[in-house]
Amino acid sequence: MDRMLEIQQMLTDTLSHADHTPAIVDEELWDKANANATGRDFRKFHYLFKGKVWCDSCGCECEHTSTTKSNGITYLYYRCPTCHTYMNESRIIHFIGDSLDDMVRTHYIYEDLRKPKKRYQLVSDEMRELIYGYSYRSLDEDYYRKMMEIYSEEKKELEETISKRKQEIQNMIFFSQSADEQKAMIRAYIDHINVDYMMNTVEPIYTSEYERIQKYVF
Ligand SMILES: [Zn+2]
């Protein structure tokens, strides 16, 4: 028997015994089986800003709705349940695309450059201390030279590491990230997105976590 058919059969059995058997159905399995049964994945439209879009006019959280045209292309919308206004997802992306790219770069600058940057600062401080010690406190010359050499070497390596990674990060864009990464970043860094349907404006409101990591951008 085909694997998906097996899963479907299993689900049918589980559900038909739901009254007396606790139905422990893995959600992902359920979605897969359903997608297979109906030929399309009806509840798995990937709303990028799921639960994040708010109507600026009335302050309501927008609902998710979609339409599939005869050419097979599906359009995703965020709809205000009170004002009955719609905004296409791609329109929101058009408005905040640059902010999303910035978000990705900020994320990686924080994740990948924070530690080497901190170390770089520490090494620079140590070198300054050594120079001071050598100039004013008759620090042993051999020791001074040896330490300066070690620190200079490390500083050079750190500079190279930082500048190489920084270059890579500058070339990153939001849509070069995997779907999971996109979702994770939106979840962590965007509190919500205010959409003003009348004024045709879209404004992302960031989380405090995002404000925190933004301090590391240099
Ligand atoms: Zn509204």
- Residue 216 pLDDT: 81
Measure 201 CA to ligand 1 centroid, in angstroms: 13
Is residue 155 included in any domain, yes or no? Answer: yes
Instruction: List Cβ neighbours of 213 (8 Å cut-off, separation of 6 or more).
Output: 106, 107, 110, 189
Q: How far, in Å, is the centroid of ligand 1 from the Cα of 182?
A: 26
> How many distinct structural domains can be found in the chain?
1
Residue 100 lies in a domain: yes
Q: How far is CA 82 from the centre of its chain?
A: 30
Cβ burial, residue 110 (10 Å; 0-12/13-18/19+): middle
Task: Give distance in angstroms: CA of 155 to centre of ligand 1.
Answer: 55
Q: What is the pLDDT of residue 183?
A: 94
Question: In the predicted model, what is the mean pLDDT of residues 36-46?
Answer: 54
- Separation of CA 18 and ligand 1 centre (Å): 39
Q: Distance (Å, rounded) from C-alpha 61 to C-alpha 127?
A: 55
- pLDDT (mean) for 95-100: 96
22 part of a folded domain: no
Q: Ligand 1 centre and the CA of 170: distance in Å?
A: 37
Q: Is 181 inside a domain boundary?
A: yes
Q: Residue 73 pLDDT > 50, yes or no?
A: yes
Domain annotation covers residue 56: no
Q: What stretch of H or E contains 34?
A: helix 27-38
Q: Domain containing 163: what range? A: 95-192+202-214
Q: Summarize pLDDT for 75-96 with one digit per residue, the tens.
A: 999 999 999 999 999 999 999 9
* Domain assignment of residue 125, yes or no: yes
